[in-house]
């Protein structure tokens, strides 16, 4: 799903969606400038995959990724990783809120950066169909 906002076209996803690259390619094809990913990754999974997946999806979609992430220990015993992030379309982490406590953070979204990176690395425009292989 997408929505027009003052910051540009916003792509809306949730936590587990980060594991599906085709969704982020589609959001990139829809020219999303920012993709929101609210999440609650557990500590072990977060340590292994959180930053890697956020940065990868930002690059794939040529968009900013803004991920609000739960942090801390919860009543059911789960420990969530935190590290709310803002990642730019080049994969650079613009903001990392850390994994110790809840907080509020701000980052600048630069529309020129999106346009520059899309011009420099036009992977969305150069997409080719995926060949189908018959397994029989």
Q: Are 55 and 29 in contact (CB under 8 A)?
A: no
What CATH architecture does domain 2-120 belong to? 4-Layer Sandwich (3.60)
* pLDDT band for position 76 (cuts 50, 70, 90): very high
DSSP string, 36-98: E--B--BHHHIIIIIHHHHHHHHHHHTSEEEE-B-EEE-TTS-EEE---EEE-TTS-EEEE--
Determine the pLDDT at residue 136. Answer: 65
Q: Locate the domains of the chain by residue range.
A: 2-120
- Name every residue whose Cβ is closer than 8 Å to that of residue 80 and which is 6 or more positions away in sequence: 40, 41, 42, 43, 46, 69, 70, 71, 72, 74
Across 60-76, average pLDDT? 96
Instruction: Output the six-digit token pair for 127.
Output: 């997409």
What tens digit of pLDDT does each residue of 37-54 get? 999 999 999 999 999 999
User: Exposed/middle/buried for 65, CB within 10 Å: 0-12, 13-18, 19+?
Assistant: buried
Determine the pLDDT at residue 128. Answer: 78
Task: Note the pTM of the prediction, 2 decimals.
Answer: 0.90
Determine the pLDDT at residue 68. Answer: 96
Determine the pLDDT at residue 34. Answer: 98
């Amino acid at each position: 799903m997408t929505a027009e906002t003052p910051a540009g076209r916003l792509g809306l996803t949730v936590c587990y969606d980060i594991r599906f690259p085709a969704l982020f390619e589609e959001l990139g094809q829809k020219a999303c400038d920012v993709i929101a990913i609210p999440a609650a990754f557990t500590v072990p999974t977060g340590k292994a995959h959180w930053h890697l997946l956020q940065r990868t999806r930002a690059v794939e979609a040529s968009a900013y990724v803004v991920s609000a992430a739960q942090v801390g220990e919860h009543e059911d015993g789960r420990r969530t990783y935190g590290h709310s992030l803002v990642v730019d379309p080049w994969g650079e982490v613009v903001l990392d809120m850390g994994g110790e406590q809840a907080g509020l953070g701000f980052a600048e979204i630069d529309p020129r950066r999106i346009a520059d990176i899309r011009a420099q690395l036009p992977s969305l425009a150069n997409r080719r169909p995926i060949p189908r292989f018959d397994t029989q």
